[in-house]
Amino acid sequence: MLKMGMFSKMNGQEQAQRFLQTDFWADFKTAHGWKKYSFILSPDGTVSERNSENQCAPDRTILSVLVRKFSLKFTAFYIAYVPMAPECANLEFIETVSANLKKYLPKNTVYIRFDPPVGFATATERDEAVEKLRHNRNTKARPASVCVQPPDTTILGLNKSCDELLAAMKSKWRYNIRLSQKKGVEVSYYTADSPEFETVFDQFYSLFEITGKRDGVNFHAKSYYKDLLERGKPSVCADGPQIRLYLAKHEDDYLAGIITLFCKREAVYLYGASGNLKRNLMPAYLLQWTAIQDAKKYGCPEYDFYGIPPTDAENHPMHGLYLFKTGFGGQEIHRIGSIDVPLRSVMYSLYSAAEKIRAWWHKKFLKKLIGR
């Protein structure tokens, strides 16, 4: 198992946190159907509501919890989600945190789902650990039926020079970057502060729609991504995470684009889109290389490509994505995945079953219906 720090210091907390645990992300999700709760988590698993007096203890950390309400005909229920926390996969500790959180959450909260960022070097090691967790009868905590965040990713350390980063890539990746530059592909980045933002954002979303139709992928509404960029513009978020939109253009054609988040803890490639024109110009490679260089300038210690298949199996439907992201020379990380602590067992069983059916529908049946 890869070593992880248990608690980050409170001073400069917004800079040290993973982006999914920042106030920035909690506020963004609050605008899109969730309600945020903020706590102080102690090493023994106790929690207290966050206030101005308890933010500076060096042995504690801020814990962001998101809650969503679902209304039925005669009642309502809630689910709670703790993204990328805590920094351990000890089920007893997670259950202790859940017990202490319960009193602060709505009465009909069905479960608390955690996404601990505990990583393993191989998918096999991770899968073995998950099986042990699944058969642990000494705790209510259990692996979730569906993972919220992608458990497998590749992370590129940025403590090297640009020349060293290029040298660590696969040779074909260096070739494609230089080919794209040589053929005249131009990459520019924009924020919601940019004068041309409305125009370039429309271009990006058009590429997004092309990608969705081509690859059978469902996206959020256009307003979701626009709001993310609006909240992450430098004039609003000078000290917190910033969101940039990168577009690759050749002559008058927009070829591809990505949305990338930058904060002091990490840079994260969040979303990508590409058109069907001039794919032989390799714009995706130059886009990533440009964002990687900017992440170094911003001071990010690492660049997270945010989601790959668990292995390089050629029969995996996203094998091409695996090859593309791992070719930049990062380290593969295989996280433990989502862990649930049920608070209402009957409702949890029903919700978990419905979640499995929904996941099957999207992954299997729906793609067959649209011919992919």
Residue 168's pLDDT is: 97
Residue 158's pLDDT is: 97
Owning domain of residue 174: 154-333
Task: Confirm whether 2 is domain-assigned.
Answer: no
Residue 39's pLDDT is: 95
CA distance 341 to 97: 10
Task: Confirm whether 1 is domain-assigned.
Answer: no
Structure tokens at 57: 């203890």
**How many angstroms separate the Cα of 109 from the Cα of each of 102, 145, 156?**
8, 18, 38
Residue 257: CATH number of its domain: 3.40.630.30
Mean pLDDT in runs of 10 for the chain (372 residues)? 40 64 95 96 93 64 95 89 90 94 96 94 93 88 91 96 97 98 98 97 96 86 96 84 97 97 96 96 98 96 95 89 96 95 92 81 48 34
* Domain total in the chain: 2
Residue 8's pLDDT is: 36
- On whether both 214 and 351 belong to a single domain, the answer is no
Residue 329's pLDDT is: 97
- On whether both 81 and 161 belong to a single domain, the answer is no
Task: Confirm whether 28 is domain-assigned.
Answer: yes
Task: Confirm whether 8 is domain-assigned.
Answer: no
CA distance 286 to 283: 5
- On whether both 18 and 67 belong to a single domain, the answer is yes
Residue 334's pLDDT is: 96
Residue 362: CATH number of its domain: 3.40.630
- On whether both 20 and 134 belong to a single domain, the answer is yes
Task: Confirm whether 108 is domain-assigned.
Answer: yes
- On whether both 177 and 218 belong to a single domain, the answer is yes
Count Cβ neighbours within 10 Å for each residue of 179-196 and write b for 16 or more, e otherwise: bbbeeebebebbbbebee
The full length of the chain comes to: 372
- On whether both 131 and 272 belong to a single domain, the answer is no
- On whether both 94 and 201 belong to a single domain, the answer is no
- pTM, full prediction: 0.90
- On whether both 92 and 175 belong to a single domain, the answer is no
- On whether both 326 and 345 belong to a single domain, the answer is no
- On whether both 212 and 285 belong to a single domain, the answer is yes
- On whether both 136 and 186 belong to a single domain, the answer is no
Task: Confirm whether 7 is domain-assigned.
Answer: no
Structure tokens at 255: 């070829």
Residue 57's pLDDT is: 61
- On whether both 191 and 123 belong to a single domain, the answer is no
pLDDT per position as a tens digit, 296-330: 999 999 999 999 999 998 988 889 999 999 999 99
Task: Confirm whether 4 is domain-assigned.
Answer: no
pLDDT per position as a tens digit, 56-94: 466 678 999 999 999 988 889 999 999 999 988 788 899
